[in-house]
Amino acid sequence: MALSILFENGCQHLATEPPVFFTDLNLDQVVDAITAQREEYDLKPYFYTALNTVDSIQYRHEIMQDIEKQDVLDRLKAFSKDMSSVRAHLAQADKLYYSRQKERWMLDAVSIYFNAVQKLSEDLLAADLKSRGLLAFRNFLKEHIESDQFTSFQSEARRLTDALNTIRYCMLINGSSIRISRYENEADYAAEVETTFERFKQGTVKNYMTSFPDYVDMNHVEAGILNVVARLYSDTFSDLSTYCSNLSRYIVETVSVFEHEVQFYIACLDYIAKFRQAELPFCYPQVSSDCKEILCNDGFDAALALKLIEKKLPVVCNSFYLKGRERIFVVTGPNQGGKTTFARTFGQLHYLASIGCPVPGRKAHLFLPDKIFTHFEKKETIHNLRGKLQDDLIRIHDILQQATLDSIVVMNEIFTSTTLKDALFLSKKIMERIISLDLLCICVTFMGELSSLSETTVSMTSMVVPESPSLRTFKVERMPANGLAYALSIAERYQVTYDHLMERIAP
Amino acid sequence: MKVFLMYRDRDFDTQAVMPSNELLLTQDLELKTLFNAMSGGDSTISEVVRKALLMGADSLNTIQYRQNILKDCLKNASVVHSIYDIAVASITARKKHYYGIFTRYPDSVLRNALELMQVLVSLLIELKTIAETHIGAFDSEGFQAFFTMLMDNLSDEYLLGIRNHMEYLRSRKGVLISAGLGTGNKGVRYMLHRFQEEKRIWWKQLWQAIGKCFFIRKQIENIVRISERDESGARVLTELRNKGMNLVADALARSADHILGFLDTLRMETAFYVGCLNLHDLLVEIEEPVCFPLPLSAERRKLQCIELYDVCLSLIMRRKVVGNDLNLEGKDLVIITGANQGGKSTFLRSIGLSRLMMQCGMFVGARYFCSDVCAGVFTHYKREEDTAMNSGKLDEEISRMSDIADDIRPNSVLLFNESFAATNEREGSEIARQITCALMEKRVKVFFVTHQYEFARIFHEKKMDNVVFLRADRRQDGSRSFRLMENPPLETSFGEDLYHSVFTGSLSGKKAGNTTYGSLHP
């Protein structure tokens, strides 16, 4: 089996469809942005497939950290550019009709390939690598390019290319015939004319060269000429034919798998670079499969942040942590205050960590879940309230059925389509189940009561600008869900805080 | 091959960036009148003299170089005119054989280039003939070099070589092209070779026929034939031929452009001298004197002239006008005061014009003229419009002064005409004083026409050696002589005279007391 730089123990089964929560967490946008302009590599399945051990995540982190060094990244990009040129050449060769033309395209493809592989090997040997994956690949490559097969094919390709490049032939066009002969150092007549008039040169003048369309294909006349040229230089051309017919499977699987898989890393790093340019941090999370004490400093929703960066708008980062027995974030606060974004951030971070990617944030300790569940409001259907509530309940029921002790649940605005009393009742019931399962959970709600259900719940509140409560800061902070921050800011403005009143009220 | 009739060692730059004060200078010195007179309706001349005058020559040496060439031109006017006509003919030829953008195909490019080249070569031969015939009548270094260059570069055998190429390109039958192998073994790096068809001699033909019988395979092998019905094949063949012709068509067309470039430079440079000849004719006709000025280094301060007149004024009046005689040495500031319409503006213009004309190598309007050259001529004239908006006007004037300050350098000349008068005399004088003192310290040569007595008085009382006062002269009877004399400023001008002149129609009706008006402040 070929060496893999994505899976240490060989390729695992890849998902072809995105996980169901992708859209809820904006991960579809994230993955679209990462894989944009790399469609030919079909990278999405790698992003759809979460890893299940901390070690396999570590395996990717090591490789990512090696590739992250600018020189290594540049070299790998150059390599994949060469490889796509090889593919383009071969595809072109396939399409062509005349064999002498086909053979030249193949020779070019092979030459590019050999040079690219050799260069890659040299580059990797020069690079300071630490990852298991790249070290193994480097060793493989070194052996490969030192093999007899590789060196003999490569030198023959060089020899043939040189020989073909030095060929020059003459065509005497007279009437409807072309007489072809070897080029015998005939003088360049255009140059002669130019020399004659050299003395009049007054500076630059315009170019009168007609440009001719340059087709890849040959027409029958060109092919006929090429055949004669091939006869005039029969040694070179017969060597070329022999060489091409002996070429088979010269692209080794390990190299092509590598080139494919390395796109995962390049794509991620290119994506992250956009954020770093806007001074938004990405970090390698510390991932654990047993400790649920999570932490994140300055996390953000990558999908939203990218849109804001493009519009040159500021991005608000949020920090959060869970300690000891704490498991559940209950997020409350004014509408449009960044609650949903906060919940998405929480979900995105955990998912991105589970595929071995760096995550949006300055520092992160995250939990490796077996599954992630999301419950986001489905499209409103106002005329069928009863059906919707029912649908909500069924979905939550399903989630709770499938969830294990290692799952993560993200709930956004549950039970908005019923009375407060009902909603509170249902929510409490659901929350009790979640608490008893000891799930990691984030729950966005308008019901502040949920935040004090147990010692495992943590209350987070989206903040407003104190002086002007209608302005959102999009900050979500640990804060009791009693709306005090909001009230305090108004008190401040009307100078009725304690300090103010102490001063204002006369003795 | 270089023309070098404007500079000893470089072409006249028709694309040169004009000084930023071009428009003001043209307006203030009435240069349009001069350009029109010189061009005689020829737009090329008009353009060239405009550039030559405003740019000036780069050194005393170049001024001398052009003066000598111009002297030759005055001696051999008809020869110079015919050289100019030959150069102009090249433009006509170019228009006729213009390579339209739709005819950009090697065959048509080549055909056009051949036709154009034919005309151009015959123009070159005409030039060479002129050179051979008239070289003896020219003394200047410039013309000697130009004629010698033509004779050296257009030798008979060289011209024969050109004809040879053109003959071959016109009559070619077969086309010999070479190529290399490029991407996908397609032909690249096409190159055209000269192919001489062998003369068919009967025994050679026989030999070939025999050869064909024995080595028939070999013969067929290396030939690709396009059958008559193969239309696409024929198209490919044409394209191949075109690819080869492309290079030589390009080379020939570019060569034609180079020759055109040469003739165009010749046209531009002779246009200047033809313009001078035109002006000379006009001035001689009205019996105005002209002279070749004696230019001195820019560091010097000297203005010595006899009958220096305003060329533009005499061109407009179509008669001889009053000139001024001066002999100033070591003066950095010339303050001109005196009667209205006493010839102050005319004098100021003649100063500007004579310097521009001298510095581009022309003759000047004077019987004798000797002066230092300057780094640039600047004008700051009172603008007549918006008299009502005094503050806005002063603002505009000062902003113009600020523009000048951006560009002016030491040893430039700055001509002020009633500047900074848009405010009261005290303020205006103070502004003018501060500006003038700064300019003098920066070694700018200042000519200041002013009515502001206060301003003139300040400098007069300092009794500086490098300041001189000129005054519009006034005869005892009150009429103007339009001549300026070295005289201190007077506290009043002669506006009342003008009033009387306008309102009574004659000076004779004046009251007796007015005649002594000027002597109140000697």
What are the extents of the domains in chain B?
A: 23-171+253-274, 286-520
pLDDT at A136 over 50: yes
Residue B73 CA to residue B89 CA, distance in Å, equals: 20
* Contact in structure between B365 and B288 (CB atoms under 8 Å): yes
Structural domain contains residue A192:
no
Q: Provide the number of CB pairs (under 8 Å) joining chain A to chain B.
A: 193
Residue type, position A10, single letter: G
Where a domain ends, among A277, A305, A332? A277
The percent helix, strand, coil of chain B (3-state, each to 5) is 55, 15, 30
3-state secondary structure B184-247: HHCEEEEEEECCCCCCCCHHHHHHHHHHHHHCHHHHHHCEEECCCCCHHHHHHHHHHHHHHHHH
The beta-carbon neighbor of A205 closest among B178, B227, B258 is B258
Strand runs labelled E in A152-268: 168-174, 177-182
Q: Which residue of A has its CA nearest to B107?
A: A210
Whether residue A470 is predicted with pLDDT greater than 60 in this model: the reply is no
Q: Considering CB atoms only, which of B109, B162, B252 is closest to A210? A: B109
* Strand A286-288, strand A363-367: pairing: parallel
Q: What is the pLDDT of residue A364?
A: 95
Tokens of A449: 């009561």
Residues A248 and A307 both lie in one domain: no
Q: Give CA–CA dist B343/B346, Å, rounded.
A: 5
Tell whether B255 lies on the interface with A, counting CB pairs under 8 A. yes
Put simply, the answer to whether A205 touches B251 (Cβ < 8 Å) is no
Query: Distance from A284 to chain B by nearest Cα, in Å?
Result: 46
Q: From its phi and psi, is residue A312 left (phi > 0), alpha (psi between -120 and 50) or beta?
A: left
pLDDT of residue A83 exceeding 90, the answer is yes
Contacts of A104 in chain B (CB under 8 A): 181, 183-185
The verdict on B187 touching A (C-beta cutoff 8 Å) is yes
Residue B121 near chain A (CB below 8 Å): no
As a whole number of angstroms, the distance between CA B38 and CA B50 comes to: 10
The CA distance from B86 to the nearest CA of chain A, in Å, is 17
Least confident window among A184-193, A195-204, B98-107, B307-316:
B98-107
Whether B506 and chain A come into contact, CB under 8 Å, resolves to no
CA distance B224 to chain A (A): 5
pLDDT tens string A432-460: 889 998 999 999 887 777 888 888 899 88
In DSSP terms, which residues pair with B205 in a beta bridge?
Answer: none
d(CA B246, CA B175): 12
* b/e sequence B8-45, b meaning 16+ C-beta within 10 Å: eeebbeeeeeebebeebbbebbbbebbbebbbeebebb
Test A208 with B153 for CB contact under 8 angstroms.
Answer: no
Residues 6+ apart with CB under 8 A from B416: B380, B381, B432, B446, B447, B448, B449, B450
Distance from CA of B109 to the nearest CA of A (A): 7
Indicate the length of chain A as a whole number. 507
Domain boundary among A256, A277, A298: A277
Q: How far is B377 from chain A (nearest CA, A)?
A: 31
What is the predicted pLDDT for the residue at B450?
A: 87
pLDDT, residue A284, reads 96
In a domain? residue A45? no
Collect all residues with Cβ–Cβ distance below 8 Å to B450 and sequence separation of at least 6.
B335, B336, B337, B416, B418, B419, B421, B432, B456
What digits encode the pLDDT tens for the residues A113-128? Answer: 999 999 999 999 999 9
Q: Which residues of chain B have pLDDT under 70?
A: 98-104, 196-221, 340-341, 384-396, 422-427, 474, 476-480, 491-522
Residues A243 and A341 in one domain: no
Q: Is residue A196 part of a domain?
A: no
Per-residue pLDDT reduced to its tens digit, A358-402: 999 999 999 999 999 998 876 544 444 455 667 777 788 888 889
B170 in reach of chain A (CB within 8 A): no
Residue A76 distance to chain B (closest CA, Å): 26
ipTM of the complex: 0.72
pLDDT for B77 equals 96
Determine the residue of chain B that is closest to A102 in CA distance: B184
**Whether A478 contacts A460, CB under 8 Å:** yes
Most A-contacting residue of B108, B117, B150, B185 (CB-CB within 10 A), to test interface: B185
Range of the domain at A148: 51-167+233-277
We report the CATH number of the domain holding residue A311 as: 3.40.50.300
**Are A122 and A155 in a shared domain?**
yes
Residue A117: what pLDDT? 94
The B residues from 80 to 109 touching A (CB cutoff 8 Å) are: 99, 104-106, 109
Would the pLDDT of A489 be above 50? no
Question: Domain B286-520 in CATH: superfamily?
Answer: P-loop containing nucleotide triphosphate hydrolases (3.40.50.300)
- CB–CB of B224 and A165 under 8 A? no
As a whole number, the mean pLDDT across chain A is: 86
pLDDT at res. A507:
52
Dihedrals phi, psi of A326, to nearest 5 degrees: -65, 130
* Share above pLDDT 90 across residues of chain A, in percent, rounded to a whole number: 54
Residue of B nearest to A240 (CA): B185
Q: What angle do CA B452, B458, B460 make, to 5 degrees?
A: 100
Residue A189 lies in a domain: no
A196 vs chain B: nearest CA distance in angstroms?
A: 7
Domain end (from A277, A304, A338): A277
Q: What is the distance of C-alpha A157 from the center of its chain? A: 36
A403/A414 Cα distance (integer angstroms): 18
Mean pLDDT of all residues in A399-411: 91
Residues in B closer than 8 angstroms to A203, CB to CB, are: 261
Chain B: give the shortest CA distance to residue A37, in Å.
27
pLDDT confidence of residue B506:
46
Cβ distance B261 to A209 less than 8 Å, yes or no, reads no
CB contact under 8 A, B192 and A221: no
Measured CA distances, B399 to A170, A389, B355, B380, B405 (Å):
71, 77, 26, 11, 10
| Poorest-pLDDT segment among A29-38, A343-352, B384-393 | B384-393
Q: Is the dihedral of CA B414, B418, B422, B423 positive or negative?
A: positive
Test mutation, A181, A186, A193, chain B, max B CBs within 10 A: A193
State residue A501's pLDDT score. Answer: 44
Question: Do residue A470 and residue A368 come from a single domain?
Answer: yes
Closest CB to A208: pick one of B175, B179, B249: B249
Chain B, nearest residue to A92 by Cα: B184
Residue range A205-226: mean pLDDT, rounded: 86
Higher pLDDT, B208 or A174: A174
**Which pLDDT does position B310 carry in this prediction?**
94
> A interface mutation test: which of B160, B166, B181 has the most A CBs within 10 A?
B181
Residues on chain B touching A101 (C-beta within 8 angstroms): 184-186
Q: Residue A303: pLDDT above 70? A: yes
Please indicate, yes or no, whether residues A137 and A271 belong to a single structural domain of this protein. yes
Question: Does A222 contact B175 at a Cβ distance shorter than 8 Å?
Answer: no
Q: Specify the higher pLDDT residue, A505 or A94.
A: A94
Q: Are residues A243 and A318 in the same domain?
A: no
Q: Structural domain tally of chain A?
A: 2
Distances in whole angstroms, Cα of residue A460 to Cα of each of A375, A438, A443 = 19, 19, 10
Instruction: Supply the pLDDT for residue B51.
Output: 95
Is residue A19 a part of any domain in this protein? Answer: no
